[in-house]
Amino acid sequence: MRARIEMELEDVPGQLVKVIDPISRFGANIQSVVHQREKKTPLGRVPVTVIFDVDDKEKLDRIVGSLKELGAHITRIGEKEAAFRDVALLVGHIVHTDIQDTVDRLNSLHGVRLSDLSLSVGKPGEDSAARVVIEATDENGIKAALSELGKLAEEKGLLTIKSLGAHG
């Protein structure tokens, strides 16, 4: 399952590493960490959001318990059953062909969202590469997203490599 924990940490060195440890120790796979040091809470704490995949509710409960023992002030916990995911690669003049349009068109599909985009920009005039992670609520959503990605790539003159790492 995918879990999202929002917490507030004391603004002292080592706090982020301290809360990441139990997440990995209990076998969770961290997908994203957002550490907003510049946006302190009214109590002077640092808001942190960690999104990770974990096998089951029991492990999630153990992670939450460990975080609380470490002094993390947990403000929100969310979970959902594992979404269908796939990874694709786009190669070409990605930025010049309006990457925002590509993201918006994929996100407009029902039950689909582009959850991660990693862009490697080439030198001026050279190709760039983008790794995209697509999530959907069901397998049909993934198929529709990959189909739309293929249409977008053809329309924009991009090379697409689909299904690099499907997860269900």
Question: For each successive 10 residues of the chain (168 residues), what is the average pLDDT?
Answer: 90 92 92 87 89 88 94 85 76 89 90 87 88 85 91 93 64
Looking at the structure of the chain, the number of domains it has is 2
Sheet containing 128-136: order of strands: 112-120, 128-136, 84-92, 159-161
pLDDT at 165: 57
CA dist 22 and 71 (Å) reads 13
Same domain as 130, residue 73 = no
Same domain as 96, residue 151 = yes
CA dist 18 and 32 (Å) reads 16
Same domain as 74, residue 21 = yes
pLDDT at 133: 87
pLDDT at 83: 61
pLDDT tens for 110-155 read 888 888 889 998 888 889 999 998 888 778 888 899 999 999 999 9
Contact 163, 146 (CB under 8 A): yes
Task: Read off the pTM.
Answer: 0.52
Task: Evaluate whether residue 131 is within a structural domain.
Answer: yes
Task: Evaluate whether residue 168 is within a structural domain.
Answer: no
Task: Evaluate whether residue 127 is within a structural domain.
Answer: yes
Q: Which domain holds residue 43?
A: 2-80
Contact 141, 148 (CB under 8 A): no
Closest CA to 26 of 56, 78, 61, 63: 63
Q: The CATH number of the domain where 56 resides is what?
A: 3.30.70.260
End of a domain among 80, 115, 150?
Answer: 80
Q: The CATH number of the domain where 147 resides is what?
A: 3.30.70.2690
Closest CA to 140 of 116, 111, 117: 111
pLDDT at 80: 61
Q: In the numeric block, which tokens belong to residue 121?
A: 């920009």
